[in-house]
Amino acid sequence: MDDSRETTPRTVVGVRRLKEPMPKPEYPRVFTVSNQKGGVGKTTTTVNIAAALAMGGLRVLVIDLDPQGNASTALGVEHRENNGIYEVLMGESSIESVVQKVAGFPHLECISSNTALAQAEINLVSMVAREMCLKEALNDLIEIRKNKNEAYDYIFIDCPPSLGLLTVNALAAAQELLIPIQCEYYALEGLTQLLETYSVVKKRLNAQLKLSTIILTMFDGRTRLANDVAASVRTHFPVELIDIPIPRAVRVSEAPSYGQTVMTYDPGSPGAIAYLQVAREIAERGKPFDSNVVNINYKKGESA
One digit per residue, the tens of pLDDT, for the chain of length 304 reads 444 434 334 444 455 565 688 999 999 999 999 998 888 889 999 999 999 999 999 999 999 999 999 999 999 998 777 899 999 999 999 999 999 999 999 999 999 999 899 899 899 988 888 999 999 999 999 999 999 999 999 999 999 998 899 999 999 999 999 999 998 877 777 788 889 999 999 999 999 999 999 999 999 888 898 999 899 899 999 999 999 999 998 999 999 999 899 999 999 999 999 999 999 999 998 755 444 434 444 444 443 3
Predicted local confidence at residue 15, as pLDDT: 53
Give the side-chain half-sphere CA count within 13 A for 25. Answer: 23
- Establish if 297 belongs to a structural domain: no
Q: Measured between alpha carbons, how far is 181 from 229 in angstroms, rounded to an integer?
A: 9
- Establish if 5 belongs to a structural domain: no
- Establish if 11 belongs to a structural domain: no
Cβ(97)–Cβ(137) under 8 Å? no
Identify the domain containing residue 254 by its residue range. 25-285
Cβ(76)–Cβ(102) under 8 Å? yes
Q: Measured between alpha carbons, how far is 266 from 279 in angstroms, rounded to an integer?
A: 16
Interhelix angle 270-285/8-18, nearest 10 degrees = 30
Segment (H or E) for 30:
strand 29-33
- Establish if 293 belongs to a structural domain: no
CATH number at residue 204: 3.40.50.300
- Establish if 99 belongs to a structural domain: yes
- Confirm whether pTM is higher than 0.85: yes
- Establish if 12 belongs to a structural domain: no
- Establish if 13 belongs to a structural domain: no
Indicate the number of domains in the chain.
1
- Establish if 19 belongs to a structural domain: no
Which residues lie closer than 8 Å to 8 by C-beta, 6 or more apart? 268
Predicted local confidence at residue 191, as pLDDT: 82
Interhelix angle 191-204/165-173, nearest 10 degrees = 60
Single-letter residue type at 29: R
Q: DSSP alpha helices (H): ranges in the chain?
A: 8-18, 42-55, 70-74, 85-89, 120-124, 133-147, 165-173, 191-204, 224-236, 250-254, 262-265, 270-285
